Amino acid sequence: MDNVYSLLAFVLLAGMILGSALLVVTLRNLVHSVLWLIVMFIGVAGTFLLLNADFVAAVQVLVYAGAVCIMLVFGVMLVQRPNMEHSNPINWRFKLAAPLVGGLFIVIGLLTAKSQLVVSGQEVPAQTVQALAPILLNDFVIPFEVAAILLTVALTGALLLVKEVKANGNGS
Amino acid sequence: MVDFALTHAWLVPLLPALAFVIIVFLTRPWPKLSGAVSIAAMFSSFVLASSVAYGVFTNPGFIERPLIYSLRWFGMEGFTVDVGVMLDPTSAMMLFMVSMVATLIQIYSTGYMHGDPQYSVFFSYLSLFAASMLGLVISSNLLQMFILWELVGLCSFLLIGFYTFKISAREAAKKAFITTRIGDFGMLLGLLFLQIIFGTLDLAGLAERVPHYEQYGISLGLLTLIAILVFIGPIGKSGQFPLHVWLPDAMEGPTPVSALIHAATMVVAGVYLVGRTLFLFSEVPGAAEVIAFIGAFTAIFAATIAITQREIKRILAYSTVSQLGYMMLALGVGSLSAGMFHLWTHAFFKALMFLGAGSVLHALHDKADVWEMGGLIKKMPITGWTFVIGGLAIAGIPPFAGFWSKDEILVVTLEYARQGHALGYLLFFLASFTALLTAFYMWRMIFLTFFGKEKPENHPHESPLSMTFPLLVLAALAAVGGLIGTPWANVWGKWIHFGHPHHGEPNYGLMFFSVALAVAGIGLAYRLYYQDEEKKLAKQLAERYQPLYKLSYHKYYIDELYQWFTRQVVDASAAVFYWFDIHVVDNIVNGLAGATKLSGQGLRYFHTGRIQTYALVFFLALLVITVVLAFGSPTLAGSMGGVHS
Amino acid sequence: MGTALNPSYFMVLSAALFAIGLYGALSRKNAIAVLISIEIMLTAVNINLVAINKFLTPEAFIGQIFAIFVITVAAAEVGLGLAIIIAIYRNRHTVDLDDFNWMKW
Amino acid sequence: MSLPILTITLLAPIVAALVIVFVPKEEEKLCKWIAAIGTGAALLLSLYVYFGYDQSVGGLQWVDFGGPVPWIKDLGVTYFMAVDGLSLPMLLLTNLIGFAAVFASWNVTHRAKELMIYLLILIAGVMGTFIAQDLFIFLLFYEVVVIPIYIMVIIWGSSKRVTKEYAGMKLTIYLLIGSAFLLVGVIATFIQSVLITGQANMSFEGLARVPFPEDFQIYMFGLMLIGFGSLLSMWPLHSWSPDGYAGAPTAVSMIHAGVLKKIGGYGLIRIAIYVLPLGAKFWAPYIAVLGVIGVAYAAMGALAQKDLKYVVGYSSVSHMGYVLLGVASLGVIGVNGAVASMFAHGVMAALFFSMIGFIYEKTHTRWIPDLGGLSHQAPRLSVGFMMAGMASLGLPGLIGFVPEFTIFVESFRVFGWLAVLAIAGIIITALYVLRAGANTLFGPAREEYRQVKDLRGAELVPLVVLGGVLVIGGLLPSLLFDMVNSGVAPILAHIQETLQIGGR
């Protein structure tokens, strides 16, 4: 009966993810969008748990639901005028975009349906962190370090960008 | 010494070349030293050349079998060029004559060019010129000869344009170079023909092969063409009609240059070349006739111009052109001996007269119009009397040098006519008439310059020894230089001849005729320009035959014609070409560029700058491509169908 | 297969989430909203990666590692993206992407 | 032979450029000296290679690393540096001119450091094309050359009839369009060779052994002819040449007219004719006609010019006509002449441009009617100018004559009266060279140029180096010809062989 529970969990999580995602992209108020984004991220983290990826789920919650969303809220507050009601308008492209994404979804769905995926049948180990660590720090050590550098560089770049503009702003 | 000289004849041109290098790189700042270096090299060269001449003229074997030695210059499969030395009496004579005249003229130049800021440069040019000319003389190969021929032309260009501050000198230099260049073009074609057909440009090799031209698969007509093409070179270099125009203008250079280059050496290079390649011309009577006629025509043509010219050096220049025509005539009628003999005597008396003219100009501070001179002989006795000797020589008064050579040419021309050549007598008539005119205009100049009343505004003085010494030497040679070729004891003809040596009996009638012509010419000049102190008769004649006078005075307007041609035809067509280039060729290119730009301008409106539009289009395209790949073609769809582990 | 979870479910979920994200990225005017939509798209990809990892290659963990890298890059991207948006906002006083058209012709 | 001496030669200017990068830009003299040392080292090395080459053996020598070093295996690309009698004169020429060009730019003060860096890259790029024996590497270096040229024209050029931006663009686009045609031809040839032989080989020798079908050769040769022809300023693809040279700074004009152009002729012989002999046979008469038109047309064009650089620009188009004529004769003598003529023209054009550069520097004009009498103030400059001019009009005793004569011999034999038109070009050449030379240098001294200084110190280097080569090459042509012949003869022997087999 495990299957049924997990199916149920999947349906609930999928509903939560898709519903909140739809709200994110349709709400007029940007702050609300960001809040619903957190809900979506948590849903995704749940999905990861369902997929036996506890470490990724934890990272998802920490990085996305935590850090990224906080950053986004700050971003919104830094750039947005006081009026938040219509902070997230829709442009003319939605008329084209809606059928496009619909078509894309259908195509991917069809392709998925056509695919014959070979399920290995083996179970993912319950404890993923012990398995992940050696891979990440042995085989993938160089990408790992590169990612670290990337983050540092991104951080520095972000600081530089914002600071520079400020200096210019003072100057002008 | 003599053996050394014979085997080291290449040192003769090399020494002045070395002097050139030394002056250019080392001694340029010290004019005196440069002059000394140049003269020392030239004199050593002269000594060596004399030894060579002695060696050659004591060994009759060289007449038939020249001494040749050469080395490979460059080469490749099917085309090799050797450079070397070819010594026979003709080249030995030239070697001797050129080195001697060059030495004398360099000595003269120390006086004439005294104090010139470009003194060293002048001597370096003279050295380079002497080197090229001597190299030309001993060349064993036509290409080698052509190369030195061109170098001689370069030196001539530099020396004519020596007074760079004068625009006229600059123009004259350009004119000289380009005019002779036209001749060189023809000659180059001729050489190419010879190389391609006979496979060699060695004089000896060609002399062997050309008589059997039929074996090389060419007709007489083509050979005639080749010969005429080769002859175009000498037309340019030796100032034959219609490429004579540069020679009178070349008098813009310093006078020693005129004497050295434009009287005694370079201009006779053309004559020498024809003499060297006489084996070619003797094969083709047509070409020889062309040479004879061009020679005779040039002789009379230049003489008629010379009678009205006013500038002393110009008269001499036209006289040179005329005398060169004479030499060509001799070669054209097939007598190497007579042509070379006249070349030999002419070198002395013409160099003498040019140097004398230089002395006069020096004294009168470059006043050149003979009408403004007069009575100079009193103040400048050496210049004057040597000049008179030159005048007697060129007019053809025995026993001066010119008489013998001119007589020889008349003899061979008459013989040529008697052999039944069509129009041969016309040639003889032209030659005789030229002799008359020559005597006339030369003495017109002499009377106007040296005799008659002194002009008070002139303050002439005799030139320094460095200038008069060469005059004296040359005068002596002009007086006796012809005695080696008298009809009674023709040493000259024995050594220098083509084919069979010429054994003409002395033709006393012709001798008398020739002297009579000379005397008549001198007499006429005497009557018009000496007796008649006011020159009334001369002026009257000029008045009465105004059109003829003008025609002659303006040199038959040939310069104007050429100038018109250059300006209106060459330059205009150049302008047309240029117009075509920037308006048609360039516009095609620019048009293509413009079309590219225009299409770019049209297409740029697709760049709205809105990044979301780009993304929209991107994903639309992605969708389309995916659909086509996944569902369009069965094979592709199959390959897209699954993820294989 | 019955009621057992199937990779196709997750793929369809991922596709739907990706489509929604794409819709957002194409149709919103606000640059931050577009950034958020891109995050949604990346997350969709992550679901796919992890799902494939679970069902197809449970031993290898490559999918999960990839997901971790994607999250890392996404975090960096958000940081930089926001910085750029703020910088542009300071200069232009707008975050409307349709006003960001100075890259046109 | 263990030292990869060609690679070292190639690297000498690059190393110098790298060193200059770390020199502060205020130290202009130091930058120039480093550039001079780099190019000087390359010059010495190439002289060593030139005189160390064993002509009696012939073929490719001084092979770096003992042979082709595989680089891109799938495409058969190898790092294959070697020289033969065809590339050696070009290598030497490049370094001669490169060395002289550094000194010709001695007085440049505007961004001198960058100028030297670009100049060195340019020299290295040109050198690479001549020593590469691999098609891919050849193209690689060829493209390397384009970039510095454009930048140098734009920054250090001068605007006269056309702006320097236009000139630079024209130059660059012609180079690129030429290379585009070339690239199509080369790629097609390569693919065809793979289809025929079943293996990938990009070396010239390897490609030359492939028996391409005749039709294919004709089309490919046509493409390559457009490519190399536009590089060689073959009429009617020449119009970049006068404008480009006029716009470019002295050093670029020198290198461009001196050696870069020669890549066209070199490639035509080394690649197009060597690999596609049947195509060459088909196209030869057309090349000859275009060459002759180029000679006469450009000579007339030069006659109409008043700007010194335009005169030389057109004159170089005219000279390239002779080269084409020699190449088109497809005979040993003619091709020898063409290669030697490229060398000769390189030296004289470089000398010409360097002297014009100095004239411009000192008088601030290149307009002939505004000039005159410079020989009074600047005799050395005048000597250099006159030497270049005399070599250009084919004065014997200088390097230009013998190659020209050699071309005439063969082309006159092969093409007959067509060649006469080209030979007549020597008259027009004399006319415009003397006009330009005499009107600039002779005549009365002008008041406004009283302060003009003669060449001194480092400025003399181009005159001494290039003038020396002019004279030595003129007096001892065998130095050049024996070398050229050892390279050309095997190539033409190969072609004759192919033509006899394929001629049917």
Please give the DSSP secondary-structure letter assigned to residue C105: -
Q: Chain C partners of A18 at a C-beta cutoff of 8 Å? A: 13, 16-17, 20
Q: What pLDDT is recorded for position D93?
A: 92
Residue B239 backbone dihedrals phi, psi, to 5 degrees: 60, 40
Greatest CA separation for chain C: 58
Cβ atoms D457, D58 nearer than 8 A: no
Q: Flag whether C3 is in a domain.
A: no
Taking CB atoms and an 8 Å cutoff, what residues of chain B touch C11?
none
Domain membership flag for residue A144: no
Is the CB of residue B464 less than 8 Å from the CB of residue B327? no
Lowest mean pLDDT among B477-491, C14-28, D192-206: B477-491
Taking residue C50's Cβ as centre, other Cβ atoms within 10 Å add up to 28
The greatest distance separating any two alpha carbons of chain D, rounded to the nearest whole angstrom, comes to 73
What pLDDT, in 10s, does the model give residues B586-595? 888 888 888 8
Residue B566's domain comprises 554-607
Q: Average model confidence (pLDDT) for chain D?
A: 86
More confident residue, B27 or D347: D347
Tell me, yes or no, whether B276 and B329 share the same domain. Answer: no
User: Which pLDDT score, from 0 to 100, does residue A18 have?
Assistant: 92
Note down the domain range covering A29.
1-93
Let me know if residue A153 belongs to a domain: no
Q: Tokens 């014979």, residue?
A: B6
Mapped onto helix, strand or coil, the DSSP state of residue D143 is: helix
Using omega within 30 degrees of 0 as the cis cutoff, is the peptide bond preceding B460 cis? no
Query: B269: Cβ–Cβ under 8 A, 6 or more apart, which residues?
Result: B133, B136, B149, B152, B234, B237, B238
The predicted structure's pLDDT at residue A82 = 62
Same domain (yes/no): B44, B126: yes
* DSSP for residue D198: S
Closest CA to B262 of B307, B321, B339, B179: B321
Closest to B517 in 3D by CA, of B619, B598, B407, B626:
B407
Pairing mode, if any, of strands B79-87 and D69-72? unpaired
Contact B645 C56 (CB under 8 A): yes
Give how far A62 is from chain B: nearest CA, Å.
Answer: 30
Other chains touching C, judged by 3 or more CB pairs under 8 Å? A, B
Neighboring chain B residues of D427 at a CB cutoff of 8 Å: 178, 181-182, 185
Please identify, among B510, B535, B553, the residue that sits at the C-terminal boundary of a domain.
Answer: B553
Closest CA–CA distance from residue B604 to any residue of chain C (Å): 6
| Same domain as B468, residue B327 | yes
Cα separations (Å) of B479 from B380, B403, B518? 20, 10, 16
With vertex at residue D61, the alpha carbon angle to CA D60 and CA D66, rounded to the nearest 5 degrees, is: 105
pLDDT at A169: 45
A43-A47-A50-A54 Cα dihedral, nearest 10 degrees: -90
From B604, B616, B645, residue closest to C105, measured CB to CB: B604
The count of domains in chain C is: 1
**Ramachandran area for residue B202 (φ above 0: left; ψ -120 to 50: alpha; else beta):** beta
Residue D379 exposed, middle or buried by CB count within 10 Å (0-12, 13-18, 19+): middle
How many residues are recorded in chain D? 504
Does the pLDDT at position C40 exceed 60?
A: yes
Are chains D and B in contact at 3+ CB pairs closer than 8 Å?
yes
**Chain B residue numbers touching A114 (CB-CB < 8 A):** 630, 641-642
Touch of C by A (3+ CB pairs closer than 8 Å): yes
D101/D121 Cα distance (integer angstroms): 13
Encode pLDDT of D237-278 as tens digits: 888 888 888 888 888 888 888 888 888 899 888 888 888 888
Q: Give the domain ranges of chain D.
A: 5-502
Nearest CA in chain C to B644: C56
- Lookup result for tokens 């070198």: B347
Spatial distance between the Cα atoms of D411 and D415, rounded to a whole number of angstroms: 5
The answer to whether D396 contacts B575, with C-beta atoms less than 8 Å apart, is no
State the pLDDT at residue D39.
Answer: 92
Q: Are residues B150 and B209 in the same domain?
A: yes
The amino acid that residue D144 corresponds to is: V
Residue C19, domain member (yes or no): yes
Measured CA to CA, the distance from residue B48 to residue B137 in angstroms comes to 14
- pTM given for the model: 0.80
- Write b or e for each residue in B360-372: b if 16 or more Cβ atoms lie within 10 A of its Cβ, otherwise e: bbbbbeebbebee
pLDDT digits (tens, 9 = 90+) for D377-413: 888 888 888 889 888 888 888 888 889 888 988 888 8
Per-residue pLDDT tens digits for D66-91: 778 888 887 888 888 888 888 899 99
What's the first-to-final CA gap in chain B, in angstroms? 102
Instruction: Please indicate if any CB of chain B lies within 8 Å of the CB of D464.
Output: no
Please report the DSSP string for A68-93 in residue order. Answer: IHHHHHHHHHHH--S--TTSS-B-TT
Residue B34 has pLDDT above 80, yes or no: yes
Out of A56, A97, A104, the one facing C68 most closely (by C-beta) is: A56
B399: alpha, beta or left? (left if phi > 0; alpha if psi -120 to 50)? alpha
The amino acid present at D201, given as its one-letter code, is N
The amino acid at residue D446 is: R
- As a whole-number percent, the residues of chain B with pLDDT over 70 amount to 96
Banded pLDDT at B635 (limits 50, 70, 90): low
Q: How far is C61 from chain A (nearest CA, A)?
A: 7
The reply to whether residue D426 touches residue B78, judged by beta carbons under 8 angstroms, is: no
In a domain, A140, yes or no: no
- pLDDT tens per residue, range D2-57: 688 888 888 999 999 999 989 888 888 888 899 999 999 999 999 998 888 888 88
- Cα distances (angstroms) measured from residue D265 to each of A50, B119, D69, D227: 71, 45, 27, 11
Evaluate whether D116 touches D30 at the Cβ level (below 8 Å).
Answer: no
Query: What confidence tens digit (pLDDT) does each residue in B427-449 have?
Result: 888 888 888 888 888 888 888 88
Q: Mind telling me how many Å the CA of B625 is from chain A's nearest CA?
A: 11
Dihedral sign for Cα B136, B141, B147, B150, please. positive
Q: Provide the domain count of chain A.
A: 1
pLDDT, average across residues B303-327: 86
- What pLDDT score does B309 carry? 83
Q: What is the total count of domains within chain B?
A: 5
What residues contact D156, with CB distance under 8 A and at least 6 apart?
Answer: D108, D110, D111, D115, D249, D252
Whole-Å CA distances, D301 to B160, B247, B582, D298, D428: 28, 29, 10, 5, 10
Q: Which two tokens stand for residue D29?
A: 């003299």
**What is the rounded distance in angstroms from the CA atom of residue B22 to the CA atom of residue B41?**
11
The alpha carbon torsion through D315, D319, D321, D323 (nearest 10 deg) reads -160
In this predicted structure, the answer to whether residue B640 has a pLDDT above a threshold of 50 is no
| Predicted confidence pLDDT, tens digits, chain A (172 residues) | 567 888 888 899 999 999 999 998 888 888 888 889 999 999 999 988 888 888 888 888 888 888 888 888 888 887 766 666 666 777 777 888 888 889 888 888 888 888 777 776 677 676 777 878 888 888 888 888 888 888 888 888 888 877 754 444 443 3
Give mean pLDDT, residues D343-370: 88
pLDDT digits (tens, 9 = 90+) for B248-300: 888 888 888 888 887 778 888 888 888 888 888 888 888 888 888 888 888 88
Residue C105 counted as domain residue: no
Sort out which chain C residues have CB atoms less than 8 A from B607's CB and list them: 103-105
What confidence score (pLDDT) does residue B634 get? 56
B109-121 pLDDT, tens digit per residue, is: 888 888 788 888 8
For residues B563 and B544, state if they share a domain: no
pLDDT exceeds cutoff 90 at B575: no
Question: What residues contact B232, with CB distance under 8 A and at least 6 apart?
Answer: B182, B183, B185, B186, B187, B190
H helices then E strands: how many in chain B?
Answer: 31, 2
| Per-residue model confidence as pLDDT tens digits over D416-437 | 888 888 888 888 888 888 888 8
CATH of the domain at C33: 1.10.287.3510
d(CA D443, nearest CA chain B) in Å: 5
Contact B609 C105 (CB under 8 A): yes
**What pLDDT was estimated at residue D475?**
87
- B620 Cβ under 8 Å from any chain A Cβ: yes
- Give the domain range for residue C60: 8-99
ipTM of the complex, rounded to two decimals: 0.72
The amino acid at D406:
T
Q: Are D232 and D323 in contact (CB under 8 A)?
A: yes
- B451-504, pLDDT tens digit by residue? 877 777 777 777 788 888 888 888 888 888 778 877 777 777 777 777 666 666
pLDDT classification of B645: cutoffs 50, 70, 90: very low
Beta-carbon contacts below 8 Å between A and B = 35
- What part of B 579-618 touches C (C-beta under 8 Å)? 604-605, 607-612, 615-616
B580, D301 contact by CB (below 8 A): no
Cα D194 from chain centroid? 32
Task: State which residue of chain D sits closest to B79, comparing Cα positions.
Answer: D333
CATH code of A13's domain: 1.20.120.1200
